[in-house]
Amino acid sequence: MITIKDVAKEAGVSVATVSRVLNNKGGAKPETITHVENVIKKLNYKPNKIAKSLSEGSSNLIALLVPTLNNPFFPELVREIEKVANENGYNVYLCNSDDDRMKVEYYLESMIDHYVSGAIINSLHVDASDLAELEKRGIRTITIDRANFEHPYSAITVDHTLGAQLAVTHLIRDEKCNNIVFISGPKNEKSAIDRLTGFTLALNEARHPVKTHICYGDFGTASGYENTKALIEKGRSFDSIFCANDAMAIGAMRACHEFGIKVPSEVKIVGYDNISLASYMYPTLSSVDQCKEDIGRLAVNELIQLIKNPKNKQKQYQLEPKLVIRNSSTINGGSINE
């Protein structure tokens, strides 16, 4: 493996000169710089980025802490964040916590050990003291959506109350549904709580009586399937299902199919997240788009500004979701309600 010492020896200069050339710090004659650059190309020398991080105490590495990769929304969010980070010369250190506090603690320590420059945090198991410790270590932070607490650092949230309200209003007002099942996420999860609030607001605005039934899932496909299957087997009647994410909506659609219940003519279904798979389901799945492209771009750009300008003030953002209407909730799918 070629080292910086090998380059210096071949070029007949000091290691310090090679280092200055590599880091564009000047201090050498133009012909020396050209000579060293030619030697670097000749030897195909690649600087050791880890060693550089150790010496400088920072890196071009951004940590991304996510709660799970089982929910299709998060791999798509990871892809968006990675794309924008790479466009700006940063690499992403992916940390999948599986919603486990012990894994979160491991990754928080690992972020410090890897000299990451910043961290994008999406976890219920990170608290204000964790963020304060990262910031104290010079790691700038921005949280996405799932933080269950107020904090003084940069944050991006989505108005999930509005998102759920759009979905349920569509079922009640546009599709004249009057017997709605809501398959919520976990009771202690902030975004699930916000969606339940939006569900309730839409009911309060309804101009005709609406029967409801609320059950709780874990955002996994199986929980959408099992909850819907249980309702059908118990003989409970309903004309629509609103699920707190697309994975559970896909499970609900599968249960309806197994029992011969036609979607959307007998039961209308709306999900939440607008994952890529939603437009390839049969029927195509109506869903609330919670702006993952906007989240990814904004999170990375804001974090880079904080990294490059340490004195910048932290900012709080709230994004508005949109309802994408497809064939699972109406025979006239294909529009977007903003």
- 3-class DSSP state for residue 306? helix
Are 182 and 212 a contacting pair, CB within 8 Å?
yes
- Are 89 and 207 found together in one domain? no
Domain ends where: 275, 290, 305? 290
DSSP 3-17: -HHHHHHHHTS-HHH
> What number is the average pLDDT over the span 219-245?
97
CA dist., res. 146 & res. 71, Å (int): 14
Q: Taking the model in full, what pTM does it have? A: 0.81
Are 139 and 119 a contacting pair, CB within 8 Å?
yes
Q: For residue 178, give the CATH number of its domain.
A: 3.40.50.2300
Length of the chain, please? 338
Q: Which amino acid is at 213?
A: H
- Are 150 and 167 found together in one domain? no
Torsion, CA 111, CA 117, CA 121, CA 126, rounded to 10: 50
Q: For residue 41, give the CATH number of its domain.
A: 1.10.260.40
- Are 33 and 62 found together in one domain? no
Residue 302 CA, distance from chain mean position: 15
- Are 213 and 183 found together in one domain? yes
pLDDT digits (tens, 9 = 90+) for 63-93: 999 999 999 999 999 999 999 999 999 999 9
Comparing CA positions, the residue from 241, 233, 254, 239 lying closest to residue 215 is: 241
Q: Tell me whether residue 314 is in a domain.
A: yes
Q: Tell me whether residue 338 is in a domain.
A: no
- Are 89 and 167 found together in one domain? no
Look up residue 282 and give its DSSP letter. S
Q: Tell me whether residue 38 is in a domain.
A: yes
Q: Tell me whether residue 337 is in a domain.
A: no
- Are 217 and 309 found together in one domain? no
Domain ends where: 290, 308, 328? 290
Instruction: Write down the residue that tokens 């910043």 correspond to.
Output: 118
Q: Tell me whether residue 35 is in a domain.
A: yes
Tell me the CA distances in angstroms from 141 to 97, 157, 196, 319, 328, one per residue in order. Answer: 17, 14, 29, 18, 39
Comparing CA positions, the residue from 306, 27, 294 lying closest to residue 156 is: 294
Q: Which amino acid is at 33?
A: I
Tokens coding 161: 């109350």
Residue 13 CA, distance from chain mean position: 48
Torsion, CA 59, CA 65, CA 68, CA 72, rounded to 10: -70
- Are 134 and 66 found together in one domain? yes
Q: Tell me whether residue 328 is in a domain.
A: no
> What number is the average pLDDT over the span 258-279?
97
Comparing CA positions, the residue from 284, 220, 230 lying closest to residue 255 is: 230
Return the pLDDT at 236.
95
Instruction: Write down the residue that tokens 């496909």 correspond to.
Output: 221
Q: Tell me whether residue 334 is in a domain.
A: no
pLDDT digits (tens, 9 = 90+) for 150-171: 788 999 999 999 999 999 999 9
pLDDT digits (tens, 9 = 90+) for 306-336: 999 988 888 999 999 999 999 999 977 555 5
- Are 151 and 185 found together in one domain? no
> What number is the average pLDDT over the span 256-274?
97
- Are 296 and 266 found together in one domain? no
Q: Tell me whether residue 315 is in a domain.
A: yes
Q: Is residue 52 over pLDDT 70?
A: no
Return the pLDDT at 17.
87
- Are 283 and 179 found together in one domain? yes
Residue 308 CA, distance from chain mean position: 23
- Are 177 and 264 found together in one domain? yes
The mean pLDDT of the chain is: 91
Give percent helix, percent strand, percent coil of the chain, each to the nearest 5. Answer: 45, 20, 35
Return the pLDDT at 338.
40
CA dist., res. 220 & res. 227, Å (int): 11
- 3-class DSSP state for residue 40? helix
Instruction: Write down the residue that tokens 């020896």 correspond to.
Output: 9
Give bridge partners of residue 336 from the DSSP assignment.
Answer: 324
Are 319 and 294 a contacting pair, CB within 8 Å?
yes
- Are 143 and 180 found together in one domain? no
Q: Give the count of domains, the chain.
A: 3
- Which residue range is the domain that position 265 belongs to? 160-290
